[in-house]
Amino acid sequence: MLTAAPPTTRTSSPTTTTTTTTTMMSARRRTMSMGSSCAFVRATKSRGTRGSAGGRRSAPSTVRVVSEGTGRFIVGGNWKCNGTRASVKELVQTLNKNVPQIEKNCDVFCCPTFLHLPYVKENLDSRFSVCAQNSWVEADLVDPEHHYDSTTGAFTGEISAEMLEDLEVPFVLLGHSERRTLLGETDEIVGKKVAHARYHGLSVVVCIGESLEERENGTTFDVIFKQLKAVAKEIDDREHSSWGSSVVIAYEPIWAIGTGKVATPEQVQEVHSKIRNWLAENVSEDVAKATRIQYGGSVNASNCADLAKLSDIDGFLVGGASLNGDDFAAICNASSVHYKAVGR
């Protein structure tokens, strides 16, 4: 079973990120401002060329390779508020049947509802980790230690990170856009939730992403960096050192979730590479390399391979298509497409 195991890191390989030409210019400026000792952005490569080390191929079309993550591919299935006892049993059976077909080079987790979580934990093959869809934190709590360790008690209807830890649930999904938009979760609350879950040893998948309006008015990166900042601010130095293995970022543009409208590979790659640059500049280069950045938004068995080819896409967070066990297994196997495309 996948717990909070660190991803495989390859210290010997070059770090490369893909980005658009305009992004490249700002990446160069950033490189200069970070000083010559900064190795995060090492080299630019022209479209369609092979890298000088490791035989990397650049991503297709308009993007150029500059840096990339080093973590294991990771795919999660967000079951949302779906399932009956019968349908969950059937899904678990289908997933278990698919285990021999799922590539070993990929981490996989499933997020059932809280009600179904104990059953799934008990019956789903240990090839899949279980992941809760949320955990509670008291929004008003001020805690200079950033642990917010007061989340059991009079909070009717909520589930705490302590309970997930007690049940040995290794992962929790935080800040999903449905919780942000429908339930009013702010960046600050999400940051506190991440800190508290990390304090209790949970690995977290933090969802970030812009609305259609934000994309159209050109504020995508303002929104995303603000969401990231709220998380980085709450994770103390001790936690920063393990961020790469324990905090997965899921970039999920809201306009692509459940709409059937997938972001283009170029759009996703541009955002992921900027997220990685932001981590390098605001957390650390090691964290930037090791952090897995998933894409989520109408991923399915047919479109996953094209997305997986891009160097900064380290996996997927899948909603609708994860309710079909066969499709979900196929999406997990996009890991091999990814490794092949980036030359590892």
**Helix or strand run (H / E) with residue 206:** strand 203-208
Structure tokens at 14: 């070059």
Comparing every residue's Cβ against ligand PEP, the nearest one is 319
Residue 78 contacts ligand PEP per CB under 6 A: yes
The three-point CA angle 300-290-335 to 5° equals 30
- Contact positions with ligand PEP (CB under 6 A) in 98-157: none
Question: Looking at this protein, which amino acid is placed at residue 157?
Answer: G
Q: Which residues contact 201 (CB under 8 A, 6 or more apart)?
A: 4, 165
User: In one letter, which amino acid is 4?
Assistant: A
Catalytic residue among 68, 185, 252, 270: 252
Among 87, 258, 264, 302, binds ligand PEP (CB under 6 A): 258
| 234 φ, ψ (degrees, to nearest 5) | -90, -15
Pairing assessment for the beta strands 18-19 and 293-296 based on DSSP bridges: unpaired
Of 287, 172, 171, 286, the closest CA to residue 228 belongs to: 287
Three-class SS state of 112: coil
252 is catalytic: yes
Picking from 88, 71, 82, the residue whose alpha carbon sits closest to that of residue 2 is 71
Quick check: 315 binds ligand PEP (CB under 6 A)? no
List the structure tokens of 41: 């952005």
Contacting residue, 69, 296, 315, 325, with ligand PEP by CB under 6 A: 296
77 part of the interface to ligand PEP, by CB under 6 A: no
The one catalytic residue in 146, 176, 196, 272 is 176
Q: Is 313 in the site for ligand PEP (CB under 6 A)?
A: no
Q: Within 13 Å, how many C-alpha atoms sit on residue 316's CB side?
A: 33
Q: Is 318 in the site for ligand PEP (CB under 6 A)?
A: yes
Residue 285 or 314 having the CB closest to ligand PEP: 314
Q: State which residue, 15 or 294, has the beta carbon closest to ligand PEP.
A: 294
| Annotated catalytic residue 200 | no
Euclidean distance between the first and the last CA atom of the chain, given in angstroms as a whole number: 23
| Stretch binding ligand PEP (CB under 6 A), from 13-21, 59-67, 191-199, 293-301 | 293-301
Out of 77, 170, 297, 315, the only residue in the binding site for ligand PEP (CB under 6 A) is 297
Q: Is 83 in the site for ligand PEP (CB under 6 A)?
A: no
Residues 199-238 that bind ligand PEP (CB under 6 A): none
Considering only 169, 174, 248, 317, the residue that binds ligand PEP (CB under 6 A) is 317
The residue range among 16-24, 113-121, 154-162, 318-326 that interacts with ligand PEP, by the rule CB under 6 A, is: 318-326
**Are 259 and 299 within 8 A, CB to CB?**
no
Query: Residues binding ligand PEP: what is the number (CB under 6 A)?
Result: 13
Q: Which is nearer to ligand PEP, 80 or 233 (CB)?
A: 80
| Residue 212 and residue 256 in contact, taking contact as beta carbons nearer than 8 Å | no
Cβ-proximal residues to 25 (8 Å cutoff; 6+ apart), any chain:
none
Which span (163-171, 179-187, 216-224, 252-260) binds ligand PEP, by CB under 6 A?
A: 252-260
Pick from 268, 295, 267, 291: which is nearest to 278 by CA?
A: 291
Please say which residue, 283 or 299, places its beta carbon nearer to ligand PEP.
Answer: 299
298 binds ligand PEP (CB under 6 A): yes
Q: Which residues bind to ligand PEP, rule: CB under 6 A?
A: 78, 252, 257-258, 296-299, 317-321
Q: Please identify every residue annotated as catalytic.
A: 176, 252
